[in-house]
Amino acid sequence: MSHHPLYTVNEKDGSELVLVPGGWFLMGSTDADSEAGDKEKPQHLHFVEPFYIGIYCVTVAQFTKFVKETKHDAGTDWKGEGDPADHPVRYVNWHDSKAYCKWAGLRLPTEAEWELSARGYKGIIYPWGNDWEDGRRVTWNKQKGPKGNTTPVNAHPEGVSPFGTYQQSGNLWEWCEDGWEEDAYKRYAKGDFSAPTSRGTRCLRGGSWNGNYPESFRGGFRDHNYLPGFRFSFNGVRVARTIKF
């Protein structure tokens, strides 16, 4: 197998990426987690190929460069509130996220890749462990950024995941490649790891700056409230890259 560095920088957009070795991991939640809903169950062994994941969410600066170079119509809300260049870009929908990834030579993470990156192989509840710790490690409703919403993408280093990714809990919900399938984990538990085929709502993971319920910041929490064309102040994007052997 060819060598792949643990850390790399994507030349096109400057995204910093960390290697996730892939393999079998515990995906989903058990009844021991009192906050877990049925859509997170059952916990099961899941397999993914090795991949790279963005250490940080895509920033305002990166998205600005993308729009200038491609003339992509991402609306105006993403720049209307004057978020600093090092904050995560928001008001981006699933289509905007896909277009950005295509331009950068990257892609969106699958839901399984996102969860492994956030929880590690043992399926810890939060990126840092199993204790909520009163939310002190995340950007949320009770600990907002300087303008009352987001924080820089490198804020809260005390909340990084086992792979060193920042803010897979809090700051912004993050789009995944997958369409929504309510009972996907039941199918996965039977050994069928094929991607959901839904063309309706898309998966969002991670919680956001305006969230007020600790359960939504858990690494296993699954959200699907929005169609791929919707843009909101609490949605952003994290990139991934396929590894070629």
Q: Which residues make beta-bridge pairs with 107?
A: 240
Q: What are the structural domain ranges in the chain? A: 7-242
Is the alpha carbon torsion for 101, 107, 111, 115 positive or negative? negative
pLDDT at 1 over 50: no
Question: Which amino acid is located at 34 in the chain?
Answer: S
The SS3 assignment for 59 reads strand
Token reading at 242: 């396929």
Q: Are 173 and 201 in contact (CB under 8 A)?
A: no
Domain 7-242 matching CATH 3.90.1580.10: the answer reads yes
Cβ-Cβ contacts under 8 Å for 159 (sequence gap 6 or more): 126, 127, 128, 137, 138, 166, 167, 169, 170
| Proportion of the chain above pLDDT 90, given as a percent | 92
Tokens 């950005």 — which residue?
A: 100
The Cα–Cα gap between 105 and 127 comes to 27
Measure the N-to-C terminal CA separation of the chain; round to a whole number of Å.
7
At 71-126, the pLDDT tens digits run: 999 999 999 888 999 999 999 999 999 999 999 999 999 999 999 999 999 999 99
Q: Are 61 and 86 in contact (CB under 8 A)?
A: yes
pLDDT at 2 over 90: no
At 161-197, the pLDDT tens digits run: 999 999 999 999 999 999 999 999 999 999 999 999 7
**Residue 135 DSSP class:** G
